[in-house]
Amino acid sequence: MNRLQKTFTSKKTSLITFIMGGDPDLETCWELLKELPHAGADIVELGMPFSDPTADGIAIQKAGQRALAAHTKLKDILKLAKRFRAEHPNTPLILMGYYNPILQYQPENFVRQAKEAGVDGVILVDLPPEEESEIAPLLREQDIAPVRLVAPTTPDERLPYLFEHADGFIYTIAIKGITGAASASAASLQQRVEHLRNFSKLPIAIGFGIRSAAQVRELKDIADGIVVGSALVEVLAQQGVQAALNLVTELAKAAHD
């Protein structure tokens, strides 16, 4: 089994933490990134900053702006990934962002360097399956999982096509809206996750709008993974690295108890 499979198999509910690469600068980001597994994160998502993030709420938008103001480039994110893999050989690492920076970097270069860095999966928010022919075959050749997003508005007839070449896990967007907004009810999410299991055998993670240990505790028996991002980048911005790690420990306790 690969790292993602091992993690989802060994954990009833995996805590997935998102931070923006390069926020507020590369060294501070590294100080947080390297400690996330020690604090309790089971899977780490590292954001690739982009100037026009269509799915992100204000917290992650600001995190991306701080990273770009610090002159963070895609090559820097890949270097962070490589440093992370050297320190944490067993923790899955996902790169998440938008396609334009990868297109400018050239998909072949990105995928090759992501593989060399030990990246396990990629989430490209604005790249539907119909438009992924430049990069999806390259990811599959290198055993990097193309993780699919599924929205509350995604119709059933689209799901088989959407999941046909998905890998790693299914990222279920909890709300009709942007990251960091109010979450959907546990009852509605349970119904949706149970419905999605009819279309895919992959683990299912829930993200967007999950901010607290109480929410994690409420959702942990519904999905295989819980994603927390906006709350974490807000705490980093307002209180620093240690406070962010304290939040991760609190979230992990809620997920694993």
**b/e burial code for range 40-63 (CB count within 10 A of at least 16 → b):** bbbbbbbbbbbeebebbbebbbbb
**Can you read off the two tokens belonging to residue 149?**
């997003």
Does the structural domain 3-251 have CATH classification 3.90.180.10?
no
The letter for the amino acid at 179 is: T
- Please state, in angstroms and as integers, the Cα–Cα distance from residue 51 to each residue in 67, 73, 145, 180, 236, following that order: 10, 12, 25, 18, 20
Q: How many CB atoms lie within 10 A of CB 126?
A: 15
Cβ-based neighbours of 4, under 8 Å, separated by 6 or more: 43, 92, 120, 121, 145, 168, 169, 203
Q: Are 88 and 37 in contact (CB under 8 A)?
A: yes
- pTM across the whole model: 0.96
Q: List the structure tokens of 4.
A: 């993602």
Q: Mean pLDDT over residues 44-72, rounded?
A: 95
Question: Is residue 73 within a helix (H) or strand (E), and if so which, with residue range?
Answer: none
Q: What is the set of active-site residues?
A: 45, 56
Structure tokens at 191: 């119904």
Give residue 63's pLDDT band: very low, low, confident or very high (50, 70, 90).
very high
Query: What does the pLDDT read at residue 184?
Result: 63
pLDDT band at 175 (very low <50, low <70, confident <90, very high): low
DSSP E strands, the chain: 14-20, 43-47, 93-97, 121-124, 145-146, 148-150, 170-173, 204-207, 225-228
Q: How large a percentage of the chain has pLDDT more than 70?
A: 96
In the chain, where the domains are located: 3-251
Mean pLDDT across the chain: 94
- CB burial of residue 187 (10 Å; 0-12, 13-18, 19+): exposed
- Residue 205 has φ and ψ, to the nearest 5°, of -115, 150
pLDDT digits (tens, 9 = 90+) for 180-239: 555 667 888 999 999 999 999 999 999 988 999 999 999 999 999 999 999 999 999 999
Helices (H), 164-240: 186-196, 213-219, 230-239
55 pLDDT above the threshold of 60: yes
Could you check whether the bond before residue 24 is cis, i.e. omega within 30 degrees of 0?
A: yes
Instruction: Give the residue from 72, 123, 203, 49 showing the smallest Cα distance to 114.
Output: 123
Tokens representing 38? 């020690």
What residues form DSSP beta bridges with 149? 171
* Cα 145 → chain centroid: 12
Return the amino acid letter for 19: I
pLDDT tens track for 150-165:
998 999 999 999 998 8
Q: For residue range 119-136, what is the model confidence (pLDDT) as tens digits?
A: 999 999 999 999 999 999
